[in-house]
Homo-oligomer: A and B are copies of this chain.
C-alpha cells in the first residue's frame, strides 16, 4: 500500500481534539483494536492492527488485523466466513487504540475456539488458595434496559 490515509502523530492537542486521524503505533508498529458486535454491543475480541491492516480496514469496510503469532496480515473471516463488516470505527483520546462496531458474517462467531466471543472465562480469586481461577462464564445477562429497568 503506497499511501496511507492517515497522518503521523502531531502535538497532544491535535491528537486529542483534532480532526485528523493520526494513529499512535507502538514500537512494534501496532495499535490495539477492540471489536464489538454492532447488534448487541458485546465485546467480541481484542486484536492488533498495523498501518496496512488499518488502511485496508478503512478502505474495504472489513476488519483486517495483524496476527502477532503468525506475523502476517489477517483478513478476519477469510477462511471461516466470520467476516467482520465495519459499521463504525472509533479512536480513543490518545489515538493508540481503535474500536470497531462490526456485523459478523458466517455463523456469527468470532473466537477460534468456536465460541461467539473470546472473553468466555471469568477470573476471580479463590479465597482458600489465594490463586486466581477461571470459570467458563454463563452467557451475559440480558441488558437491564431491555426489561425496562
Q: Are B46 and A43 in contact (CB under 8 A)?
A: no
B-side contacts of A58, CB under 8 Å: 123-125, 132
B-side contacts of A3, CB under 8 Å: 130
Given the interface pairs A58-B125, A113-B16, the reply to whether A90 lies near B41 with Cβ below 8 Å is no
For A46, A88, A113, A137, which residue has the most chain B Cβ atoms within 10 angstroms? A46
- Quick one: copies of this chain in the complex? 2
B-side contacts of A81, CB under 8 Å: none
Whole-angstrom distance from the CB of A127 to the nearest CB of chain B? 11
Whole-angstrom distance from the CB of A94 to the nearest CB of chain B? 8
A146 in contact (CB, < 8 A): yes
A residues contacting B by CB (< 8 A) are 3, 5-7, 16-21, 32, 34, 36, 39-43, 45-46, 58-59, 69, 88-94, 97-99, 111-113, 115, 118-125, 130-135, 137, 142-146
